[in-house]
Amino acid sequence: MKLSTPEFDAPSDANDRRAVTPVICYPPDALTPSDLAALAVRRKDAAKSGAVTAAPREAACIDVPAGCFFRISSVEGPQVGDLNLWSKADISERFYSGKTRALHGTHLSTGDRMWSSFPNLRPMATITADTLDWYGFDEFGGSVHDVIGTRCDPYTGRLLSGTDYHHCCHSNLTRAFADHTGLPMAEAEAHIHDVLNVFMCTGFVRDTGQYFMKASPVRPGDYLEFFAEIDLIVGLSACPGGDCSEEHSSDKTTCYPLLIEVFDPGQEAREAHRPPASSAYDQSHGRG
Ligand SMILES: [Zn+2]
């Protein structure tokens, strides 16, 4: 956090330096836009082919083949979810929230991609529908579906409160991923990564830049829908923070389940889909 009373005097041209106009780090026009119209046509013919529910303070995993859609829905009450994605073919390729943030901004919505880790750096999923897109940014600078938080975890809980809590999203995802893959718990834990905070309403306070959360505007019936660009394992935790209006990392808040449904447009449409290629960078890093 910045010191409220700086230790060093400002230079004489401090205001000029502050007044420099920012430039967007990664121009969004450099990315090929998602073909949402074509995806909408494909979605019309898709039939429900699977579903799983993440119980409150638990997580669930489900396979979603490339070319299918998956939808995360609020079903019983306001609830936020922590989403992880892995490539089914190689679980070391996983969602990269930091690069997704750099490319698309702090909060995602329709048309944005969920990008994978190095050396692949390719779209794993494309957001095709967001019933909370009306929210925009509120007067506090808050919005929904962030890629700025991490995931609640027992290590930070121990650091800050000195107690062990086993139903943070990190632990929920670890158990669900171990069950889904058959990996031992310790190995499964190493594959849990920073998330897309589905339905969570967050931002940074203007004066200190601290991360804030507030009660999610999500209501039963709201959903966020994705197109699977590659064969995926989707993992979702129903965060112990519930709607994140008060606190997380405890059993104090009311929590609700989250539903994941898969929609299949049929074998022909699936086979017609070409998964995005991994990065063509040669990985020489300037040597040899
Ligand atoms: Zn959480």
Q: Is residue 38 part of a domain?
A: no
Residue 43 CB contacts under 8 Å (≥ 6 apart), including other chains: 69, 128, 227, 263, 265
Cα 45 to middle of ligand 1, angstroms: 34
Q: Is residue 120 in a domain?
A: yes
Cα(230) to centroid of ligand 1, in Å? 26
Cα of 271 vs centre of ligand 1, distance in Å, is 36
Tokens of 180: 């889904």
Among 28-42, 100-114, 128-142, which stretch is predicted with the lowest mean pLDDT? 28-42
Q: Which domain holds residue 175?
A: 49-272
Q: Is residue 194 part of a domain?
A: yes
> Pairing relation of β-strands 196-204 and 143-146?
antiparallel
* Domain count of the fold of the chain: 1
Evaluate whether 88 touches 262 at the Cβ level (below 8 Å): no
pLDDT > 80? residue 288: no
Alpha-carbon distance values, 217 to 132, 138, 277 (Å)? 8, 11, 36
Query: What pTM was computed for the model?
Result: 0.95
Angle at 209 between CA 206 and CA 210, to 5 degrees: 115
Residue linked to tokens 């409220």: 4
Tell how far the Cα of 166 is from the centroid of ligand 1, in angstroms.
11
Lowest average pLDDT, out of 94-98, 245-249, 272-276, goes to 245-249
62 domain residue, yes or no: yes
pLDDT at 205 exceeding the cut of 80: yes
Tell me, yes or no, whether 131 lies in a domain: yes
- pLDDT, residue 155, reads 97
Cα 284 to averaged position of ligand 1 atoms, centre (Å): 38
Residue 270 CA, ligand 1 centroid: distance in Å:
33
Q: 154 CA to middle of ligand 1, Å?
A: 10
Residue 242's φ and ψ, nearest 5 degrees, are: 65, -115
| Ligand 1 centroid – CA 280 distance (Å) | 35
User: Per-residue pLDDT averaged across 235-262, rounded?
Assistant: 90
Tell me, yes or no, whether 26 lies in a domain. Answer: no
Find the 151 Cα to ligand 1 centroid distance in Å.
5
Domain assignment of residue 17, yes or no: no
Nearest CA to 234 out of 111, 92, 124, 105 is that of: 124
- The alpha carbon of 148 and the centre of ligand 1 are apart by a number of angstroms equal to 13
For 219, the token pair is: 């209501």
The answer to whether the Cα torsion of 265, 268, 272, 273 is positive or negative is positive
Contact call for residues 263 and 47 (beta carbons, < 8 A): yes
Residue 65: is the preceding peptide bond cis (ω within 30°)?
A: no
Distance CA 106, CA 174 (A): 25
Tell me, yes or no, whether 132 lies in a domain. yes
